[in-house]
């Protein structure tokens, strides 16, 4: 899922500063699951903003802010406000801007990564959405994401006791994980092959990406 | 004429290693300012004592004078540079462009590195590039030299009818026998050799037993015959430095007995030099070690003494 966290309250207050009537809009998808911008977080943030700012704060949450069709139910309410404070990820915030071209929109969250839930209050990054998945080669562990240098040919000298030198307390060396997995699977021979330079044009390096699927478009 | 064509690059380092002579390289860290005197002073300390000198490339991710510029400066002073190049600061376009430029300036050795992560340096908010990794960089430089093509497969010529003019570098890479996973380290060395590496300089060695065990794996695979391995050493100036290397530098192992020796010595710096000389003598005995790489960090003035005491003075 897309993992996000709430911005510092002072930053949020500064963003909505000049507005008198603000719609605080939650999203029912990823940010609900990662407990950052769902209905409950809207219910928690709204009273804090009411107490600490002069603005009138309206609350609502829609199922998905990344899809225009879910905005119909809140159109009237949104039009009655000076601004929208979105508790969605960056994708949702941009859709709000698109759906309401005349309304200022502000993000209440920082979108941090695509990742997994690793236990209560713990998440970690697992996918950079690089557009050319090599997990089948690397034992189901992504070197592009989980190696701090995105190395494709094994660990640098900073791999010690399974941890990455960039953050030895918390971050595992992605290459140790790849090595361990492939060893278990009896496929270490894969790691003796030289991986060729990556095609970064399929990442954001190639410009903002689009996906068109004729099979869906024709339905 | 005939002799030069036998070499890949005809660098002094290549000739020394090809002749089977025990090679000595050192390290020159460029300054953090446009300080020409600093570079000249360091170069003077090393000149005549080593076969070639590594010019570091923004080492520890701290901005310094570029390795190419300093490489050219020391070359003009009669010292052969090994241009270090990291994958951290450049994409493949910048790398190839710099390799062509460095070659035109007379630089003939390159050391291909991943590069220390930006988080350790003085611009921790910078974006790390890592378009290629160090092994892919090695292969790119090898293909530029031997296949005479850029990384995209295009021939290295300035137009369809122009002559091919490729940069001929003697290609090095690093190896760390002390990082994990230990068993994968030799496989990774073999990958570097397959990518086209001519020489290896290792991370600094203190744990001789672990290094000897790594070299045994190297010999078992015959890798010492496919590339020249220079063993890295870094003289310890003090107990503090030894502990810093042990605790703060990932992939460096400093055994306690060296720390004890430094602590008990009246003159820790002199003891550090003594330890370094002993290490070089032991390393020389190990089959497959083709030379030594002395990384005297901000202590270049001691290189001549170490070389002399280790009886390597012949240059």
Question: Averaged over B205-223, what is the pLDDT?
Answer: 95
Task: Give the integer Cα–Cα distance in Å for A208 and A11.
Answer: 28
List the structure tokens of B150. Answer: 């850029």
Confidence check: pLDDT of B66 > 60 = yes
- Under an 8 A CB cutoff, do A149 and B132 touch? no
Q: Do A152 and B136 touch (CB under 8 A)?
A: yes
What residues of B are in the A interface, CB distance below 8 Å? 87-88, 92, 114-115, 117, 119-120, 128, 130-136, 139-140, 151, 174, 176, 178-181, 184, 187-188, 190-191, 194-195, 203, 250-251
Closest listed residue to residue B192, CA positions, set B111, B118, B250: B111
pLDDT tens digits, residue range B125-153? 999 999 999 999 999 999 999 999 999 99
Q: Which of A155, A17, A209, A107 is nearest to B180 (CA)?
A: A155
Domains of chain B: 2-309 (3.20.20.220)
Q: Which among A84, A82, A80 is positioned nearest to A65, based on CA atoms?
A: A84
Residue of B nearest to A165 (CA): B250
Residue of A nearest to B124 (CA): A166
CA distance B13 to A73: 74
pLDDT band, residue B62 (cuts 50/70/90) = very high
Among A residues 165-204, those touching chain B with beta carbons less than 8 Å apart:
165-166, 168, 173, 175-176, 179-180, 188, 191-198, 200
Going by their DSSP bridges, the two strands B170-175 and B199-204 should be labelled as parallel
Per-residue confidence (pLDDT) for residue B166, from 0 to 100: 98
Would the CB atoms of A151 and B130 count as touching at under 8 Å?
Answer: yes
**pLDDT over 70, % of chain A:** 100
Whole-number pLDDT of residue A81: 97
- Residue B10, phi then psi, degrees to nearest 5: 65, 25
Contact between residue A107 and residue A90 where contact means Cβ atoms under 8 Å apart = yes
Q: Count CB-CB contacts under 10 A for residue B187.
A: 17
pLDDT in tens, B104-116: 999 999 999 999 9
Q: Flag whether pLDDT at B3 surpasses 60.
A: no
Mean pLDDT for all residues in chain B: 95
pLDDT for B65:
98
Look at residue A176 and give its three-state secondary structure: helix
ipTM of the predicted structure? 0.91
Which of B59, B124, B136, B245 should we substitute to test contact with A (largest number of A Cβ atoms within 10 Å)? B136
Give the pLDDT confidence score for residue B249 in this predicted structure.
85
* B chain contacts of residue A148, beta-carbon cutoff 8 Å: 117, 119
| pTM for the whole structure | 0.94
Chain A residues whose beta carbon lies within 8 Å of the beta carbon of residue B200: none
**What would the pLDDT profile of B67-109 be if each residue is shown by its tens digit?**
999 999 999 999 999 999 999 999 999 999 999 999 999 999 9
* Residues 6 or more apart in contact with residue B125 via CB below 8 angstroms: B118
Q: How far apart are CA B84 and CA B68, in angstroms?
A: 8
Q: Touching check for A160 and chain B: CB below 8 Å? A: yes
> Which band of pLDDT confidence, cut at 50, 70 and 90, is reported for residue B251?
confident
Mean pLDDT on B222-240? 97
Averaged pLDDT, groups of 10, chain A, 219 residues long: 97 96 98 98 98 96 97 97 98 98 98 97 96 95 97 94 95 97 95 95 93 88
Contacts of A167 (CB under 8 A, 6+ apart): none
Say yes or no for a CB contact (<8 Å) between A149 and B114.
yes
Q: Are the beta carbons of A173 and B180 separated by less than 8 Å?
A: yes
Q: What is the model's pLDDT at position B314?
A: 67
Domains of chain A are 2-112 (3.40.50.2300), 128-206 (no CATH)
B133 vs A200: CB contact, 8 Å cut-off? Answer: no
A159 Cβ under 8 Å from any chain B Cβ: yes
Please judge whether A195 and B136 are an interchain contact, meaning their C-beta atoms are less than 8 angstroms apart.
Answer: yes
For residue A184 the two structure tokens come to: 């278990």
DSSP A7: P
Of B87, B179, B190, the CB nearest to A159: B179
Q: Please indicate if any CB of chain B lies within 8 Å of the CB of A143.
A: no
CB-CB under 8 Å, B133 with A152:
yes
The residue in chain A having the minimum alpha-carbon distance to the alpha carbon of residue B130 is A149
| Residue labelled with tokens 């020159």 | B28
Nearest to A176 among B140, B180, B191 (CB): B180
């Amino acid at each position: 899922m897309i993992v996000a966290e709430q911005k510092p309250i002072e930053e949020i207050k500064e963003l909505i500063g000049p507005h008198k009537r603000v719609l605080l809009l939650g999203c029912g998808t990823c940010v609900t699951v990662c407990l950052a911008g769902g209905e409950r977080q809207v219910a928690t943030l709204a009273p804090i903003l009411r107490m600490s700012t002069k603005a009138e704060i309206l609350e609502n949450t829609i199922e998905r802010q990344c899809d225009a069709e879910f905005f119909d139910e809140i159109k009237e309410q949104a039009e009655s406000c000076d601004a929208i404070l979105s508790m969605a990820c960056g994708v949702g915030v941009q859709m709000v801007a698109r759906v309401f071209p005349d309304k200022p929109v502000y993000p209440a969250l920082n979108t941090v990564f695509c990742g997994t839930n690793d236990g209560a209050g713990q998440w970690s990054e697992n996918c950079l959405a690089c557009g050319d998945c090599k997990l089948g080669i690397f034992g189901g562990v992504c070197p592009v994401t989980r190696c701090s240098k995105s190395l494709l040919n094994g660990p640098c000298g900073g791999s010690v006791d399974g941890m990455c030198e960039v953050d030895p307390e918390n971050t595992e060396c992605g290459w140790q994980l790849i090595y361990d997995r492939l060893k278990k699977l009896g496929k270490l021979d894969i790691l003796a092959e030289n991986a060729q330079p990556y095609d970064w044009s399929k990442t954001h390096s190639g410009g903002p990406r689009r996906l068109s699927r004729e099979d869906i478009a024709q339905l | 004429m005939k002799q030069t064509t036998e070499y890949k690059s005809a660098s002094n380092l290549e000739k020394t290693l090809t002749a089977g002579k025990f090679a000595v390289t050192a390290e020159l860290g460029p300054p953090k300012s446009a300080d020409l005197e600093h570079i000249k002073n360091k170069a003077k300390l090393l000149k005549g004592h080593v076969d070639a000198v590594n010019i570091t490339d923004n080492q520890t991710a701290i901005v310094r004078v570029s390795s190419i510029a300093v490489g050219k400066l020391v070359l003009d002073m009669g010292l052969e540079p090994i241009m270090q190049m990291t994958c951290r600061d450049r994409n493949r376009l910048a790398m190839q462009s710099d390799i062509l430029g460095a070659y035109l300036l007379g630089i003939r050795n390159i050391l291909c590195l991943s590069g220390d992560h930006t988080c350790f340096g003085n611009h921790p908010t910078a974006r790390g590039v890592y378009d290629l990794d160090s092994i892919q960089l090695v292969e790119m430089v090898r293909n530029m030299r031997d296949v005479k093509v850029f990384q995209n497969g295009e021939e290295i010529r300035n137009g369809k009818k122009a002559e091919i003019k490729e940069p001929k570098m003697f290609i090095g890479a690093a190896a760390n026998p002390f990082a994990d996973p230990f068993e994968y380290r030799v496989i990774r060395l073999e990958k570097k050799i397959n990518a086209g590496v001519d020489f290896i300089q290792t991370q600094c060695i203190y744990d001789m037993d672990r290094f000897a065990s790594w070299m045994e794996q190297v010999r078992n695979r015959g890798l010492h015959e496919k590339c020249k391995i220079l063993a890295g050493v870094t003289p310890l100036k003090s107990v503090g430095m030894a502990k810093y290397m042990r605790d703060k530098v990932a992939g460096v192992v400093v055994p306690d007995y060296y720390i004890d020796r430094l602590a008990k010595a009246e003159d820790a710096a002199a003891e550090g030099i003594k330890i370094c000389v002993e290490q070089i003598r032991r390393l020389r005995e190990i089959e497959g070690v083709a030379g030594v790489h002395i990384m005297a960090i901000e202590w270049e003035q001691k290189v001549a003494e170490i070389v002399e005491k280790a009886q390597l003075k012949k240059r």
